[in-house]
Structure 1
Amino acid sequence: MFTHRIDSATYMKLLEQQDSEKLFQLIDSSREHLRQWLPWVDQNTTVEHSRQFIQRTLEQFAANNGFTAGIWYQGALAGVIGFHKIDWENRSTSLGYWLGEDYTGLGLMQKAVSKSLDYAFLELRLNRVEIRSAIGNVRSRRIPEKLGFTHEGTIRQAEKLVYGFVNHNVYGMLLEEWEEKENSKTEDDEAQG
């Protein structure tokens, strides 16, 4: 089973059917917060919808087409992160994520994205990971910017949200860039140790 420890209070693990109610409760308690940036929120109105979503993500993982994991913080489901799908021919994927409103501002997502990049580059040996974020979604944009992704451009009217179409910023990270960043971090740690 896919489980990755992030820190002493936080880990990622595949969502399982037994998590359906917790997932639905997290979505429902953060509905207004999430609706602003996630077009699927209004279609998830029952525990059964969450159960169906989890089933699709388990099938995705079984097909070796990426993962969707819950982010668990202090024993509670705080959010979701995962690869949309993996293009094995080009060794690339895109990453999506969200947190329940009560879990924002704790640094959880930056750590979860970093751990997901380790998995993508070091375990799966992918060459490229992309993150797209609505231009107005400042918190989401900060994640790839802080992790050293390259802003590669803007896609106009890329997604229809409840209030209309929004432009997306596209951020990319390459395997060689992640390895260079990780090597630099290791050298800094050794110099301080």
Structure 2
Amino acid sequence: MFTYQVDEEVQLKLMELNDAEELFALTDSSREYLREFLRWVDGTTGKEDTQAFIQSGLQHFADNKSLTTAILYRGKIAGVIGFHEINWHNKSASIGYWLGENHQGKGIMSRSVKALTSYGFDRLDLNRIEIRAAAENVKSRAIPEKLGFTKEGCIRQAEWLYDHFVDHVVYGMLAAEWPHQYKKNS
């Protein structure tokens, strides 16, 4: 079982099927908040949908394709973070994340992204890590900006979100750049 201790309050943990109820409750309690920028929210209508998400994440982890973890804050699930498809040939991955509405403003996501980025460079030997966020998603974009990721550009109309397209801002970090940034933001 994969776990990664971020600090005394935050831990990343590979989810298990018995986490479905707690994760679904978090999703459901933050539904309107999350829906603004996450298109999967409307399709998550019950614990069974969350179980399917967890099962898919476990299979992709077993196949060495991705890593999807729960963010535990003081022992309770506060959100999700992970590497979307890991491209082993190019030594690159993309980080995706979300946090329940009641867990905002505590630095949980900044600490989690910093830890996962370090894990990717130090343990997985990645060369490039990317984060994409909707241009209007100021909170999500603040994370890579705070951690020193380079804003590389904007992909116009990158995602269909319910009834309109949204642009994605792309941020990148290279392994050679990370040690400096890691020390700077510690």
TM-score range, shorter chain: over 0.9
Q: How many angstroms does 1:145 deviate by?
A: 0.2
Q: How many angstroms does 1:143 deviate by?
A: 0.2
The amino acid across from 1:76 in the alignment is K
Aligned to 2:112: 112
Aligned to 2:127: 127
Q: How many angstroms does 1:160 deviate by?
A: 1.1
The CA distance in 2 between the partners of 1:152 and 1:122, in whole Å, is 23
Mapping of 1:15-54 within 5 angstroms?
15-54=15-54
The CA distance in 2 between the partners of 1:125 and 1:74, in whole Å, is 29
1:14 and 2:14 aligned: yes
What do the CA deviations read for 1:13-65 (whole angstroms, capped 9, x no partner)? 00100000111101000000000000000000010000000000001111111
Q: Which runs of 5 or more structure 1 residues have no equivalent in the other structure? A: none
Secondary structure, aligned partner of 2:105: coil
Structure (1 or 2) with the greater helix fraction: 1
Q: How many angstroms does 1:66 deviate by?
A: 2.2
Secondary structure, aligned partner of 2:118: helix
TM-score normalized with structure 2 length: 0.97
TM-score normalized with structure 1 length: 0.93
Secondary structure, aligned partner of 1:176: coil
Aligned to 2:136: 136
Larger radius of gyration: 1
Aligned length: 186
Aligned to 1:91: 91
The CA distance in 2 between the partners of 1:124 and 1:84, in whole Å, is 14
Q: Which runs of 5 or more structure 2 residues have no equivalent in the other structure? A: none
The CA distance in 2 between the partners of 1:75 and 1:25, in whole Å, is 15
After the TM superposition, list the runs of 4 or more consecutive aligned residues in structure 1 that deviate by more than 3 angstroms.
none
Q: How many angstroms does 1:10 deviate by?
A: 1.4
The CA distance in 2 between the partners of 1:66 and 1:165, in whole Å, is 26
CA RMSD of aligned residues (A): 1.3
Check whether the contact 2:83–2:96 (CA below 8 A) recurs between aligned residues.
Answer: yes
